[in-house]
């Protein structure tokens, strides 16, 4: 029997702050069983740009990319134009699709994402997708808890839409440092039985972090999905493990190529045979079983990792 929260709707939004601005994320439609689109490269025309707080949501016309796309997958965008000195593409989770259009959420962190921020309707982006492995479905009837930090909530609107359509009770915890870095609060409020919002400065919802609120909802969950900064994922994974829950995490690693060639996004992950190996976030992920990710060893070369001796010898 699946666990459940046993209530209809309780939203903790702190509406009185008046600072919650939600963007119009488009839920991903169902994908036929067994259908998984291979990546294609297209010239995608920007149809619309929506601004909400610190983020911008770009909706682009990308024929051939959308069929078979699933929540948890991502696309990569070339930045800087034809003569750019920035050769590395930027990866963005799919926040929604509609016909031949798809949406991504962008936060301006560096030169590449700032270049995207300056694009507008009618501009053309070089796009590859869909890429990566999506969120796996939970067992029949299982209650799902979604935990997101900042724009890590981007893939959760489509995931929540699919889960609720399949009869799964869904709850969510959304958090960020400040109110302007929350994403899809109102969309997820309509798709969840319980939604808790946290901000570190108290500008929206509860004061604190998602890991302060998640333990209240974990007893009612059967599976956890998490997306956000790596320290948050590590903490949520530990909390889920304490309750004996399966936790699927979408990792935020730099994905320079997105197709498994450059090896910049590797993580130490325990395989089904018990041996740890470096796996590529872009093709083996970005969604992993949190219990298999060696969070303490990210950025290191553990002695027991398969091939560690050979890798050290080539340094």
Span 80-116, pLDDT tens digits: 877 677 778 899 999 988 889 999 999 998 899 999 9
Say whether the peptide bond before residue 199 is cis (omega within 30 degrees of 0): no
Report pLDDT digits (tens) over 214-249: 999 999 999 999 999 999 999 999 999 999 999 999
When pLDDT is averaged across residues 4-21 and rounded to a whole number, the result is 42
CB 297 within 8 A of CB 278: no
DSSP 3-state of 214: helix
Using pLDDT thresholds of 50, 70 and 90, give the confidence band for residue 7.
Answer: very low
DSSP string, 46-106: EEEEEEETTEEEEEEE-TTTSTT--TT-EEEE--S-TT-S--S-EEEEEEEEETTEEEEEE
Taking the alpha carbons of 121, 127, 130, 134 in that order, is the dihedral positive or negative?
negative
**pTM score of the predicted model:** 0.88
Whether residue 59 is predicted with pLDDT greater than 60 in this model: the reply is: yes
CA distances for 210 relative to 178, 226, 273, 287, 311, angstroms? 13, 10, 33, 19, 37
The domains of the chain are located at 40-131
**What are the helix (H) ranges across the chain?**
111-117, 156-165, 185-189, 210-217, 230-242, 308-313
Q: Which CATH class is domain 40-131?
A: mainly beta
Using pLDDT thresholds of 50, 70 and 90, give the confidence band for residue 313.
Answer: confident
CB 278 within 8 A of CB 241: no
Whether residue 2 is predicted with pLDDT greater than 50 in this model: the reply is: no
When pLDDT is averaged across residues 16-37 and rounded to a whole number, the result is 42
């Amino acid at each position: 029997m699946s666990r459940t929260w046993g209530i209809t709707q309780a939203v903790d939004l702190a509406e009185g702050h008046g600072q919650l601005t939600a963007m119009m994320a488009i839920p991903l439609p169902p994908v036929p069983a067994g259908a998984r689109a291979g990546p294609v490269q297209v010239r995608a025309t920007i149809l619309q740009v929506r601004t909400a707080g610190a983020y911008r949501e770009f909706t682009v016309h990308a024929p051939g990319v959308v069929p078979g796309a699933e929540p948890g997958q991502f696309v990569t965008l070339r930045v800087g134009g034809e003569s750019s000195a920035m050769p590395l593409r930027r990866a963005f989770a799919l926040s929604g699709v509609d016909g031949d259009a798809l949406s991504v959420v962008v936060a301006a962190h560096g030169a590449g994402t700032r270049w995207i921020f300056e694009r507008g309707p009618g501009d053309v982006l070089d796009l590859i997708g869909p890429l990566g492995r999506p969120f796996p479905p939970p067992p029949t009837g299982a209650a799902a808890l979604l935990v997101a930090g900042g724009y890590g909530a981007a893939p959760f609107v489509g995931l929540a839409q699919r889960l609720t359509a399949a009869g799964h009770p869904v709850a969510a915890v959304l958090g960020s440092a400040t109110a302007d870095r929350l994403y899809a609060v109102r969309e997820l409020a309509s798709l969840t039985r319980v939604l808790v919002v946290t901000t570190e400065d108290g500008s929206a919802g509860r004061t604190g972090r998602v890991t302060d609120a998640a333990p209240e909802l974990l007893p009612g969950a059967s599976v956890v999905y998490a997306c956000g900064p790596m320290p948050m994922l590590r903490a949520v994974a530990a909390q889920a493990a304490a309750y004996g829950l399966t936790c699927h995490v979408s990792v935020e690693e730099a994905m320079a190529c997105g197709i498994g060639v450059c090896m910049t996004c590797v993580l130490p992950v325990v395989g089904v045979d018990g041996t740890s190996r470096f796996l590529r976030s872009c093709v083996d992920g970005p969604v992993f079983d949190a219990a298999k990710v060696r969070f303490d060893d990210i950025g290191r070369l553990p002695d027991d990792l398969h091939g560690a001796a050979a890798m050290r010898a080539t340094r």
